Amino acid sequence: MEYTALLLSFVTVVILTPLVKQLAFRIGAVDVPDQRKVHKGIMPRLGGLAIYISFMVWLLTFAWNQPYTIYLFLGGTMIMLVGLLDDIKGLSPKVKMAGQILAAGIITAGIQIEYIILPYDLELKFGLLSVPLTILWIVAITNAINLIDGLDGLASGVSAIALITISGLAITMGNTFSLLIGLILLGSTLGFLLYNFHPAKIFLGDTGSLFLGFMISVLSILGFKNVTMFSIVVPMIILGVPIADTFFAMVRRLVKNQPITVPDKFHMHHCLIHLGYSHRKTVFIIYMISAIFGLAAVIMTKAALWLALTVLAALILFVEVLVELTGLIDRTYRPILNLITTSRIRR
């Protein structure tokens, strides 16, 4: 059933996307180039609507009687409407954030991060903090996916890699509901990627990037909630690229004394293009980095504690070197690279 859902969702989006493209032009949901945009012409930006329709159709078809389905439907619809209104009319940051919090609040009515298991089988229960922690996670991941949606096929491709990882882990854990949801969303995302990869024929828009980020964040909770203290970092690693890009964007703006909400052109994909990589090569590099994070997450769930800690340390070092090479914080920020250069000179 799960793999049938994967195929059906893929085909559905392939059929729907050209229709959504026509609708976007008719209602004025288009993206006009400016100094921050990479594309040159006017582009329809309602592509996420095709993903939403496909996902909900097959969610309700295959999982209508599951206890979590109602929350996925209501919360997903709410976040889609927020993105849709932003794509058509444009919403203020405060209104968008309020909509995201409301959508996340709907989810917490039935899905929460309730506790983690500490060493020696001790439980750390979050109690009243369960709801705000769950909302914080959902809103953070939703915005992280939204922020990396800056190149053709980038957000949809990174989301697909995260979904492959989450679905793969769901198989190993015997979590059939998470597997079904993951594969429906994966099929929808891959179907859209056919139109979204460079040169894109249509953009995700906030309708798509917010919806994908939202659903992936909820799916990660379903797959990894109430887990051990160590394995709670697994969904963070799976989503390492958008999380790191968002985190260092905040650091960069603090270092430069800029408001955190002010957009700039120094996200990871911008930095790689500044280094001379083409549009496609930049996207493939970030795909590769996402795959490395996904592989590390899989290893950490199966490895002994010492190996998992070693992988985590290696990832932290990898991210630091990547930040310095790309200038993600600042082009003068190179402590490790300068240390390596100095040691070579001394030799």
Residue 343 has pLDDT above 80, yes or no: no
Beta pairing class for 30-31 and 43-44: antiparallel
- For 79-114, the pLDDT digits (tens) are 999 999 999 988 998 999 999 999 999 999 999 888
For the chain, the average pLDDT equals 87
- For 283-298, the pLDDT digits (tens) are 999 999 999 999 998 8
Give residue 177's Cα distance to chain centre.
20
- What type of residue sits at position 225? K
Structure tokens at 97: 């954030």
To the question of whether residue 149 is assigned a binding role by annotation, the answer is no
Domain ranges of the chain: 2-346
Residue 232 has pLDDT above 80, yes or no: no
SS3 123: strand
- In this structure, the number of other CB atoms found within 10 A of the CB of residue 278 comes to 11
pLDDT for res 229: 47
pLDDT for res 202: 93
Q: How confident is the model at residue 225 (pLDDT cuts 50, 70, 90)?
A: low
- For 106-119, the pLDDT digits (tens) are 999 999 888 776 65
Residue 214 has pLDDT above 90, yes or no: yes
Asked whether 20 and 202 are in contact (CB, 8 A), the reply is yes
pLDDT for res 220: 87
- Report the predicted TM-score, pTM, of the whole model to 2 decimal places: 0.89
- Which of residues 38 and 29 earns the better pLDDT score? 29
To the question of whether residue 206 is assigned a binding role by annotation, the answer is yes
What integer is the mean pLDDT of 183-192?
Answer: 97
Q: Where are the alpha helices (DSSP H) in the chain?
A: 2-27, 48-63, 69-88, 93-108, 130-147, 154-173, 176-196, 205-224, 234-238, 240-255, 268-274, 279-302, 305-326, 335-346
